[in-house]
Structure 1
Amino acid sequence: MIIGVPKEVKTLENRIALTPGCTQTLVRRGHTVLIERNAGTGSGITDEEFQKAGAKLVSAEEAWGAELVVKVKEPIPDEFQYLRKEQILFTYLHLANDRPLTEAMLHSGCTGIAYETVQLKDGTLPLLMPMSEVAGRMASQVGAHYLEKSQNGRGILLGGVPGVSPGAVVILGAGIVGTNAAKMAMGLGAQVTMIDINQRRLVYIDDVFNGRIITMSSTEHNIRQAVKYADLLIGSVLIPGAKAPQLVTADMIPTMKPGSVVVDVAIDQGGCIETSKPTTHLKPTYMVDGVLHYGVTNMPGAVPRTSTFALTNQTIPYILKLAEQGVDAVRNDDALLPGLNTYNGTLTCHAVGDAFGMKSVAPEDIL
């Protein structure tokens, strides 16, 4: 199969969907790999490295012309022209927060398989996990930075010092993002509170952190009280493929302390904080009611080398299956099946259909 890897064009997105090692594996299996020139430079990977691995260097149009197109981030409007019926697109799509892209995918007839909805039988999201780990760890790191007075924050050192209380970090969601955010926040010496709807998960968090994290059930009352004392509020709520529920309402934000910081990692799926909106690495923050908000939609793109290798470690087995079997791989793989979001002009993800009031069918009913 011919596999194309276009250069990412989202603002300051420096990840790439294949490494030279992955490329070599595909080429040795008899596949042709087309890499857009300079696509890997942001991750510290040169064109020469890809050539040595057996890739052909091409233009963006040629990369998009491949049978299987592998990316990191969803296509932006300038790329919609490349979508077509004979194409399999394998990338993060986040369609539930992007109606124009959803409509473009459906209009083109493209087969869209979303990293974030590939799911194992036990509920694990193997292709979302590595970037969730990166984003979670970054959330505390970013939040600590923006709490500095020079960044319009409260002037709080999260870890405090002897004789001065540490900062308070409140994390909504105790999944992969939330757990990794908690690890980093605790490492900085902060006081950490985690809120989740799943009691079993809270028991797990209490166990692995030896009771050093405050755990709370996710109710409106508990959230409303917790945001009042938070210096840093991290949103990490996820419903696979669906628009994130807005757990923090706009009227809660003025109750927060002036100069406190919100980092909404769920922004790719619409955000779990009502006042959140998408931002970029060029202009990452904005102020609402005296609270600094950070809503960058591609946080791991700030550490592209780490993120590229972490992501491709997980995606390459699925890329190999798609390269060797085409759409049949989706039929034959229980994890890839829920990853199918669009097929031949039909929406195949119920969560996206629910977000936009659009008709959808189950993947198994259309393949």
Structure 2
Amino acid sequence: MKVGVPSEIKTDEYRVGMTPAGVRELVEHGHAVFVQSGAGVGSAIADADYEAQGATVLPDADAVFDAAELIVKVKEPQPVEVARLTPGHTLFTYLHLAPDPELTAGLIASGATCIAYETVEDARGRLPLLAPMSEVAGKIATQAGAFMLEKPLGGRGLLLGGVPGVAAGKVMVIGGGVVGQNAAEIAIGMGAEVYVFDRSIDRLRDLETILNNRASTVYASTLAIEELLPEVDLVVGAVLVHGAKAPRVITRAQLGLMKRNAVLVDVSIDQGGCFETSRATTHTDPTYEVDGITHYCVANMPGAVPITSTYALTNATMPYVVRLATQGVHAALGADPGFMAGLNVAAGKLTYAPVGRDQDLEFTAPEAALAAVGSGPA
């Protein structure tokens, strides 16, 4: 199969969808890999590094899309990339369709087969291609929040870990999944007083053990959140519903309970955000203020550390890319229900039910839509 790796063009995005190690794997399986010139620069990977492992470097994105059947990316395609997609393409990347009806409509109209990293499941129902970036984003969330608490950045002027004789700051983490666990670990490491909220008692039990009882675990009722909000300096929103819009866990009215210049970090922003006042920001312009509360809602937090993120992501995605290229989309997805769960759009049909519910669109069973896709390897 012909596999294409274009440069990422989302604002402040420095990751790349494949490393030279991935090229080597694919070439050894008999596939051709086409990489856009400069695609790896943000992750400290030169064109020559790709060429040394057998890739063909092409001058621009148009050439990559024209040459390839399988397109491997990191972030959701931007409008100019959607326009390049054809029914002969399979796209494998993060999509985050639930909060983006325009992208959903564009992908449906393209006729391409679109598989989302974030909805692929493993045998235990976990999200193996989302987890690495959730780990990175959770760690960044606390680091960024601690930085934004500094007075020159508009924060309260508080050192999150405190010093002898001066109390540490308080951190509320809403959501005890991969993001929340990593955010809590970093906050604990900084010396903060940490509270982790979740609605799964079993998960809270696990976190007691994982965090070695160094954080307080709290059942995430609305009242419990409201009671703690006046005390905390940093809130990390880490709520996830598989493939669907994130639920709102803090309303604008509740901002009035918080200390002035406290910080909210919304890691759920890719799925629409879990604070009512959230809107996506960029690394170049990461924050804004609402009612005296600093909001940090960068939509591609792991993109700030691309050397770490690119390798963490591609370590997880590469086995799936090899399967798609070697077996073809029909066989690869048909043999693995968890992989099939990643199919969001095929043959002009929406195939992921949570997106259909969020956008009030009809959706087709993925197996049925996939059957209408051409029988070639892509």
The TM-score, its normalising length taken from structure 1, stands at 0.99
Aligned equivalents of 1:342 and 1:160: distance in 2? Answer: 49
Cα shift readout 1:116-173 (whole Å, capped 9, x = no counterpart)? 0000131210000000000000011000100000100001101101111100000000
Aligned equivalents of 1:228 and 1:56: distance in 2? Answer: 57
Partner amino acid, structure 2, of 1:102: T
Aligned equivalents of 2:39 and 2:118: distance in 1? Answer: 22
Q: 1:337 aligns with which of 337, 340, 346?
A: 340
Partner of 2:29 in structure 1?
A: 29
Q: Which moved more, 1:113-122 or 1:356-365?
A: 356-365
Aligned equivalents of 1:25 and 1:13: distance in 2? Answer: 25
Q: Which moved more, 1:95-104 or 1:322-331?
A: 322-331
Partner of 1:77 in structure 2?
A: 79
Aligned equivalents of 1:266 and 1:172: distance in 2? Answer: 11
**1:302, distance to aligned residue in structure 2 (A):** 0.2
Aligned equivalents of 2:211 and 2:50: distance in 1? Answer: 42
Aligned equivalents of 1:226 and 1:326: distance in 2? Answer: 51
Q: Which moved more, 1:37-46 or 1:210-219?
A: 210-219
Aligned equivalents of 2:367 and 2:87: distance in 1? Answer: 19
Task: Give secondary structure in 2 for the equivalent of 1:39.
Answer: coil
Task: Give secondary structure in 2 for the equivalent of 1:336.
Answer: helix
Aligned equivalents of 1:2 and 1:114: distance in 2? Answer: 19
Partner amino acid, structure 2, of 1:317: P
- Runs of 4+ displaced beyond 6 Å: none
Partner amino acid, structure 2, of 1:69: I
The TM-score, its normalising length taken from structure 2, stands at 0.96
Task: Give secondary structure in 2 for the equivalent of 1:158.
Answer: coil
Partner of 1:49 in structure 2?
A: 49
**1:178 matched to 2:180:** yes
Partner of 1:296 in structure 2?
A: 298
Task: Give secondary structure in 2 for the equivalent of 1:11.
Answer: coil
Is the CA contact 2:125–2:338 (under 8 Å) kept in the aligned structure 1? no
Partner of 1:348 in structure 2?
A: 351
**1:30, distance to aligned residue in structure 2 (A):** 0.7
Aligned equivalents of 1:93 and 1:45: distance in 2? Answer: 24
Partner of 1:11 in structure 2?
A: 11
Aligned equivalents of 2:337 and 2:266: distance in 1? Answer: 31
Cα shift readout 1:30-82 (whole Å, capped 9, x = no counterpart)? 10000000000000000010110110011211212210000000011122211
Aligned equivalents of 1:149 and 1:209: distance in 2? Answer: 30
Task: Give secondary structure in 2 for the equivalent of 1:57.
Answer: strand
Aligned equivalents of 1:212 and 1:12: distance in 2? Answer: 35
Task: Give secondary structure in 1 for the equivalent of 2:302.
Answer: helix
**1:356, distance to aligned residue in structure 2 (A):** 0.5
Partner of 2:375 in structure 1?
A: none
Q: Which moved more, 1:214-223 or 1:145-154?
A: 214-223
Partner of 1:208 in structure 2?
A: 210
Partner amino acid, structure 2, of 1:201: R
**1:227, distance to aligned residue in structure 2 (A):** 2.0
Map 1:1-367; keep pairs closer than 5 Å: 1-58=1-58, 59-65=60-66, 66-328=68-330, 329-367=332-370
Count residues in correspondence: 367
Aligned equivalents of 2:54 and 2:301: distance in 1? Answer: 31
Aligned equivalents of 1:172 and 1:365: distance in 2? Answer: 38
Aligned equivalents of 1:56 and 1:211: distance in 2? Answer: 52
Aligned equivalents of 1:308 and 1:207: distance in 2? Answer: 30
Aligned CA RMSD, in angstroms, stands at: 0.9
Cα shift readout 1:289-337 (whole Å, capped 9, x = no counterpart)? 1100001100000000100000000000000000012222111122211
Aligned equivalents of 2:311 and 2:341: distance in 1? Answer: 24
Partner amino acid, structure 1, of 2:255: I
Task: Give secondary structure in 1 for the equivalent of 2:74.
Answer: coil
Cα shift readout 1:322-366 (whole Å, capped 9, x = no counterpart)? 001222211112221100000101111001001100011222343
Partner amino acid, structure 1, of 2:313: L
Cα shift readout 1:172-226 (whole Å, capped 9, x = no counterpart)? 0000000000010000000000100100000111122232211111111111122
Name the CA shift for 1:79/1:366 in 2 (closer, same or farther; >3 Å). Answer: closer
**Structure 1 gap segments, 5+ residues each:** none
Is the CA contact 2:173–2:195 (under 8 Å) kept in the aligned structure 1? yes
Partner amino acid, structure 1, of 2:293: V
